[in-house]
Amino acid sequence: MPKPLIIAVAGGSSSGKTTVVEKILKNLKEYPIVVIKHDDYYKDQSEMSVDERRKVNYDHPFALDNELFYKQLKSLISGQSIEKPTYDFVNLTRAKKTEIVHPAKIIFLEGILILEDPRIRNLADIKIFVECDDDLRFIRRMQRDIHERGRTIDSVISQYINTVKPMHYAFVKPTKRYADIIIPNDYSHDVAVDIINAKILSIINK
């Protein structure tokens, strides 16, 4: 089995990474594709109290189980299926539910720190960074965390000020220099998506 095409999509929290991936996928429906979210590899915290979990810095690379992520990605590359973890963002720990992911021709990796670990970064054939205005990202994050993750306005603001924003500038934004393509997501990004699709097809059809 030939090595799958691996596309890593990074960018700040709520920058629009998922939207970009979904737009790319619309033009690749005839190909077997899997999307793996780095968020599912947050470390298990079941032995910690809920109060302790709330104090964890989830925007620091140490919060992610990159050992498992890298191991499972290598398994997919070698043609083996994996049992991928999932994460419970309400209870802030790894969920009991897992997902079986089978090898595919194209693998998308998505996450704020997906380009931070050189082992993972070096496996990617195409590296994308989605950039977005800080204020817009904060508004999107607040809406998501309140409606989807049961957070309060005060907790979202506190986390953003104390960890999300400083970690973005310390660890996330610096990975932009590794990207092959930088997409400004403050407005329509159809041209960038078309270019990415053309590149993907050119690689697959070689």
Structure token pair of residue 95: 């969920």
What is the amino acid identity at position 124?
A: A
Q: Quote the pLDDT of residue 1.
A: 65
Q: Output b/e per residue, 117-151; b: 16+ Cβ within 10 A.
A: beebbebbbbbbbbbbeeeebbeebbeebeeeeeb
One-letter amino acid for residue 57 of the chain: N
Q: pLDDT digit of tens for each residue in the chain (206 aa)?
A: 688 999 999 999 888 899 899 999 998 988 999 999 999 999 999 999 989 998 899 999 999 999 999 999 999 999 999 999 999 988 889 999 999 999 999 999 999 999 999 999 999 999 999 998 889 899 988 998 898 888 889 988 988 899 999 999 999 999 999 999 999 876 667 888 899 999 999 998 87
If one counts the domains in the chain, the total is: 1
The CATH number covering residue 24 comes to 3.40.50.300
Domain that holds residue 13: 5-204
Q: What is the pLDDT of residue 188?
A: 67
